[in-house]
Each structure stands twice: as C-alpha cells, then as structure tokens.
Structure 1
Amino acid sequence: MTEKIKVLLVDDQPLLRMGFRLILEGEDDVEIVAEASDGAEGVRLVEAHVPDVVLMDVRMPVMDGIEATRRITASGACSRIIILTTFDLDEYAFSGLRAGASAFLLKDVAPEELVHAVRVVASGDAVVAPRVTQRLLETYVRSQHGGPKPPSDPLLEDLTRRELEVLHAIAEGLSNAELAHKFFLSEATVKTHVRRILTKLHLRDRVQAVVYAYETGLVTPSQGLDF
C-alpha cells in the first residue's frame, strides 16, 4: 500500500479548514494529520507531526504565515509549504516563496486543483507550479530588476557547465521531460542533475531554484519566465 501524503492545515478560519479537510480526506492517498489556527501553533505541529505538506494561510493572529514558513524552513524540516492567499498577485505570497514555500494557491481553488497541487508539491519534483505561482514570480521578479546587477553567488562556481544549463532551463519553467528532450538526456539523468543543483545551492526545490536564479542575476526576466 502506498504511504499517504500527510497534510497539516494552518488557517485561522475554521470553515476553510473544514472545507479543505473534506476535499483532501476524500482522496485515498491523503491524510490530514492536524490543524492549526495560527502560525505559531503551525510551527509546533510541524515538529510534532512532520507533515509532507503544509497548507499555510498568510494573515493570521499570533504569528503570520510568512514568519511561520521562515521558521519551519530554517528548522531544517522536510515539510513542503503551500501558501494560501486571497489574491493571485499578493506580495505577501511572494514573500512566502522567498521564505521557503514551494507554491501558493488561491483560497477559492477548485477541489481538483487543490488535490493536484498537494500531490505535486509532496513529490518534490514539480515544475514551478501551480501556474498562478508562475504569474506571481514573473510579476515580482520583473519588478525587482532595473537596479544594479547583484553580485554573483560563489556557490555557482560549484556547478558544472551542464548543471548551469539545467538551472537556466529550470528557470524557464521546463519540466523534467522537457529538460530531457532539450539536452538529449534520460529523465533519470535530469533528476540527478536537478538534485545535485539543489544540494550544491542549498535549495529546497525547483521553485526556490527559480527564485534563486533571478535574485542572483543568473537569469533576467527577458531571458525566461515565458508564462
């Protein structure tokens, strides 16, 4: 039997948590392990339950979702975080991605999209998804450019030429299958390259790799993010 995806719900609205619980618990491969009504409680429950995925609201009492995300990722927890927000181009959601979240979803997301996003983020092998995350990255990454180019990160020197090429392609939003086709490699080899890139740059996942590529100036908006 396949191990279930363990999910933690963190939102100060009980009705929203209930709705997400009903949707996700209807799936055979998903289990809700706990619920929290604020970010501080969410941080404690991540430590207690070690969920695979955390659905994290942004605006909550006691501790907001951005700070909770920052603390969870800084702790070294392997839980992946999906930011929940009301607006699709929310600067707070972008702050959540910078803090270490893997994606973000609108609170009125369709049930099938919610389930898909949880599975994709849990797999750790996703493109920059869901698509609304791409729009968010495009908007806020583009808005930050125009000043002096940031200094190159010394960690980039640890990447091989092929790994740099793969990182550029990840920043363009290519999937593993598309990367394999582009570089004439097997998908297994592509996964190895991606894993090595994330390890060398101390990144959690592909979304973090895209944010990193733009924030370090390795890639500029005119070169990629063709969403």
Structure 2
Amino acid sequence: MNETSNITSPIRVIVADDHPAVVKGIQTYMERDGHFQVVATANDTLMLAEVIDSTPCDYIFTDIGMRGIDGESNAIAFLRRLSWYSRRPKIVAVTIISQGQMLAGLIQLGIDGVVDKRDGLDCLPEAVHMIAGGSRYLSPSAKNTVDRFPSSTPACAGVLSRRELEVFHLYASGLLVEEIAERFGRSTKTIATQKRNGMRKLGLDSEVELVEYMRQIGLV
C-alpha cells in the first residue's frame, strides 16, 4: 500500500535547505508519483518565512542548519515562533545534526517530525503518513539519537547568538581562543565564556562533541 494512499492529493509542500542539490533531490523525489506538489522552495530562513507568508502549503520540509533571520546560527528561533501558531503547516525538520539534546528539543518545541538526512528520502512520505494520522515522526537514526538521550537531561534546541556563531566559525578555522580574543578586542575570559555558553546551548559537553557538531554543520 502506498504510504499516502489515505491522504487527499496533491499534498502541498515547501522545501527549504541552503544546499540547492538537497532541495532539488527532495523536490524530484516527492513529485515523482503525483501525490505531492512542491509549491515553493527556499535556500535560507528569511526566504522560507517569505514563501510561507505568500504560498499556502500543507507541509514544510526544512533544514535547521540555515542561518537565522536575525543572524542566529540556525533556523530554530524562526521555527519556534512558527510552531506557536495553531493554524500552520506541519513542520518536518530534515537535518544532518545528530545531537540528542537538540533533536529532543525540536520535539519539545512541537515540531511534527524529524528526519535524519542519512536515513534517505523514503522517510519523507512516511513522515507525512504518520503525521497525518496524528503521530509525531522520527526517522530511524533520529529516533535512535533521541532514545539514547538521557531523560534526566533537559532537552533544548539551542540557537547561538551572532557573536557565539562568529567565535565558533573562527575556532573551526583553527584559531585559538587567545587569537579570537585578540581579533575581537576582547579578553580571553570573555571569548572562552562565549564558546562555553554556545556549547551549553547546543548540548555539547566536550571538545570532541564540539568538533563533531562543527563537522555536521559544515564548518570543518
């Protein structure tokens, strides 16, 4: 049975990702059998906000790693605001990020589904099928990540400030905290605090986890 056979077609979808190949791949896959129509695409969070305002849709498939509207490190602040509206499209986060605290935080925000990009495009119609039935969807890898996340640890979908993101970028480029401090004309203690606060927001407990996160979002 087709995953979407009990859903009226075509289902209107907006696809947002800052990698054009990802957008094209999702659009081609979703439109292959006529059950879905990609009514708009976006390559950053600001464009996503604009097309949501102008284009009626049923589902949004969106990356969370795109730069935020006000220079935040990701699209989560926007998605948080969008999730507050009772009459809104269903939101499916499509991400390479596999941090337990962040994925659990997305669920806590009310995001309808999370698809790990490593799980393949067939998870997208499956997500629609489950969400339409009233369930929240996690792709296999996303579910595994969330299931391993300690229930005693607070979930948080973190958003770095503009300066915290700048510090992460420079740190990823190979600069030491002392060198970053000199570049910004700040004390080493201030930069170290911004780096530590950024790690806390993202649920990163060690340098190893920080490097892995930066690798996932393409900084290294």
TM-score (norm 2): 0.57
The equivalent residue for 2:24 is 18
> Does residue 100 of the first structure (1) align with residue 110 of the second (2)?
yes
After TM superposition, give the deviation of residue 61 of structure 1 in Å: 2.2
| Equivalent of residue 130 in structure 1, options 139, 159, 164 | 139
After TM superposition, give the deviation of residue 73 of structure 1 in Å: 1.4
8 A contact 2:14–2:59 mirrored in 1: yes
8 A contact 2:17–2:63 mirrored in 1: yes
Task: Report Cα offsets for 1:82-120 as digits up to 9, x if no partner.
Answer: 111114445333332222211111123323222211332
Identical pairs, percent: 19
- Aligned Cα RMSD in Å? 2.5
> Does residue 78 of the first structure (1) align with residue 84 of the second (2)?
no
How many angstroms apart in 2 are the aligned matches of 1:51 and 1:7? 6
Task: Report Cα offsets for 1:16-43 as digits up to 9, x if no partner.
Answer: 0000001001132111010011122212
Show structure 1 runs of 4+ deviating over 6 A.
Answer: none
- In structure 2, stretches of 5+ residues that fail to align are 1-6, 155-220
Cα–Cα, structure 1 residues 112 and 58, in superposed 2: closer, same or farther, change >3 Å?
Answer: same
How many angstroms apart in 2 are the aligned matches of 1:101 and 1:141? 20
After TM superposition, list the pairs within 5 Å mapping 1:27-42 onto structure 2: 27-42=33-48
Cα–Cα, structure 1 residues 96 and 41, in superposed 2: closer, same or farther, change >3 Å?
Answer: farther
The equivalent residue for 2:124 is 114
Which of these two proteins has the greater Rg computed from alpha carbons?
Answer: 2
The equivalent residue for 1:7 is 13
How many angstroms apart in 1 are the aligned matches of 2:10 and 2:37? 6
After TM superposition, list the pairs within 5 Å mapping 1:134-149 onto structure 2: 134-140=143-149, 142-144=151-153
The equivalent residue for 1:224 is none
8 A contact 1:66–1:99 mirrored in 2: no
The equivalent residue for 1:225 is none
- In structure 1, stretches of 5+ residues that fail to align are 146-227
8 A contact 2:103–2:114 mirrored in 1: yes
Which amino acid is 1:105 matched to? V
After TM superposition, give the deviation of residue 51 of structure 1 in Å: 1.7
Which amino acid is 1:19 matched to? G
How many angstroms apart in 2 are the aligned matches of 1:58 and 1:127? 17
Cα–Cα, structure 1 residues 131 and 3, in superposed 2: closer, same or farther, change >3 Å?
Answer: same
How many angstroms apart in 1 are the aligned matches of 2:60 and 2:118? 17
After TM superposition, give the deviation of residue 141 of structure 1 in Å: 5.3
